[in-house]
Amino acid sequence: MVYNNILETIGKTPLVRLNNVVSDIPATVYAKLEAFNPGLSAKDRIALHMIERAERLGQLKPGGTVVDATSGNTGFSLAMVCAIKGYKCVLTVTSKVSEDKLNNLRAMGAEVVLCPQEAKPTDPRSYYRRAEQLAKDIPNAFYVNQNFNADNGDAHYLSTGPEIWEQTHGRVTWLIGSASTGGTLCGSGRYLQEQNPDLKVVAVDAFGSVLKKYHETGVYDENEIYAYRIEGTGKNIIPANIDFEMIDRFVKVTDKDSALRARELARKEGILAGYSSGATLQCLQQIKDELTPEDVVVLIFADHGSKYVSKIFNDEWMRSQDFLPAEEGSEELKKATSDIQKALC
C-alpha cells in the first residue's frame, strides 16, 4: 500500500488486548493505541477534520494562518496538516508543557507563543485569550478553537467510534478515556452509544480540574482549580465538546498513580504510552469492582510515551515529584540516615 502523503495514514489505529497489567480485572480489556497516528496522537484525526471543514466552509483560504490554544498534541497535529497544505501555524501553549513537546512543535514549523500557566481563562495573558486575539490580529487567520469547535467531536464520531465498534465486533460495553476538550471520548462515545445505548462511558479527570464537580453538581467551581502534572486530562473551563449527559461518571486520578501506571504499561505490556494513558489505566483500576467477565472494556490511549521521556520516564524527574522513593545510596538517603543517627545519639 502506498500513500500520497502523510495525512492519508491518519486513523485505523490498532486495538490491542492488555494482559499483564489487567490480571486482576474481571473483564476483557483492550487499548485503542492512538500513538499509531503519524503525529503520535489522537489529535491528528481532529486536526485534519477541523482544517478540511474550515476549507470547505471558506473559513480558511490558501496562504492563511491556523491559530489555536493547545497543550501540545493538537498543535503538533495542526502543524503537520499545515505543513502539507501550505498554511502557517501559530500556537499558544501554557508554560506547563514539556520542553520535548515544544521542540516537537517547532520542528514541525509552528510558531509557539508561551503563556503563563497560572493565568485564569478570562485573563488576556491566558493561552485561550491570546489565541483568540492573535486570530483577530493576523490577516486571513482561522481560529480552530478545539474546545468549542463541534468538528473536534465529529472527527471521532466519524472515525474512532466506528473503528472501535468494528474492532470489537460490537462487543464493547465500557469506554474509558481522558477528557480534556472531550472530543475524543464524547465523539467516539456518541457513535458507540448509538449502536449500543447501554454502553458505559467513563471520563478520566485530574485533581485540579473542574470537570467532575461540574458533572455532579452543575457548578463551575474555581476553587477546584490548581496546578497538576498530567497533560491532556481535565480542564479549567467547561468545553462545549464535553457532552455531560452521555458520560456516566468522571473519575479523578492522581498525578503519581498515573505516572506509575504509564511506567508499568511500558514494562509489563511493552507499550510506551503517554501520561494520560497511565491515567486511564489507573481509572480502570479504580472502577474494576463494577466489571464482570462478560464486559469488554476499551481504554483510549491518546498519545505516545516518547513525548514524556524527560518527565514520567525519567527517574530523576519522578523523584523530584516524590513519585519514586529517594535512590538507595543517594545524598538524600545518606543525609536522612545520618539525621536519624544523630537524633538517636
Ligand X SMILES: Cc1ncc(COP(=O)(O)O)c(C=O)c1O
d(CA 285, CA 14): 22
Q: Which of 183, 189, 208, 234 binds ligand X (CB under 6 A)?
A: 183
Closest CA to 311 of 343, 277, 271, 263: 263
Q: Which of 12, 32, 43, 85 is catalytic?
A: 43
Dihedral (CA of 142, 234, 19, 314) sign: positive
CB neighbours of residue 115 within 10 Å: 20
Please work out the total of residues on this chain that contact ligand X, with binding judged by CB under 6 A. Answer: 16
Stretch of 109-117, 179-187, 207-215, 244-252 lying at the interface with ligand X (CB under 6 A): 179-187
Question: Which residue lies nearer to ligand X by CB, 37 or 73?
Answer: 73
96 is catalytic: no
Task: Specify the stretch interacting with ligand X by CB under 6 A; choose among 90-98, 111-119, 175-183, 243-251.
Answer: 175-183
Task: Please select the residue that binds ligand X; options are 64, 234, 274, 305, rule is CB under 6 A.
Answer: 274
Q: Is 329 left (phi over 0), alpha (psi -120 to 50) or beta?
A: left
Give the nearest distance from C-beta 122 to ligand X in angstroms: 21
251, 202 Cβ separation under 8 angstroms? yes
Question: Following DSSP, what letter does each residue of 1-66 receive, concatenated?
Answer: ---SSGGGG-S---EEE--GGGTT-SSEEEEEEGGGSTTSBTHHHHHHHHHHHHHHTTSS-TT-EE
CB-facing half-sphere around the CA of 329: CA atoms within 13 A: 0
Determine if 184 is a binding residue for ligand X (CB under 6 A): yes
Check binding of 154 to ligand X (CB under 6 A): no
Q: In the complex, what is the shortest distance from the CB of residue 178 to ligand X, in angstroms, rounded to a whole number?
A: 4
Site for ligand X in 73-92 (CB under 6 A): 73
**Residue choice 132, 163, 231, 269 for contact with ligand X (CB under 6 A):** 231
Closest distance of CB 163 from ligand X, Å: 15
- Asked if residues 92 and 66 have their Cβ atoms less than 8 Å apart, the reply is no
Helix (H, G, I), strand (E, B) or coil at 199: coil
Our finding on whether 168 is near ligand X (CB under 6 A) is: no
Smallest separation (angstroms) from ligand X to the CB of 187 = 8
From the list 113-121, 176-184, 216-224, 309-317, the region that binds ligand X by CB under 6 A is 176-184
Cell numbers standing for residue 53: 471543514
Among 277, 218, 211, smallest CA distance to 241 is for: 211
CB of residue 152 vs ligand X: minimum separation in angstroms?
7
| Closest approach of ligand X to the CB of residue 231, in Å | 6
Active-site positions read 43
Contact positions vs ligand X (CB under 6 A): 71, 73, 178-185, 231-232, 274, 276, 302-303
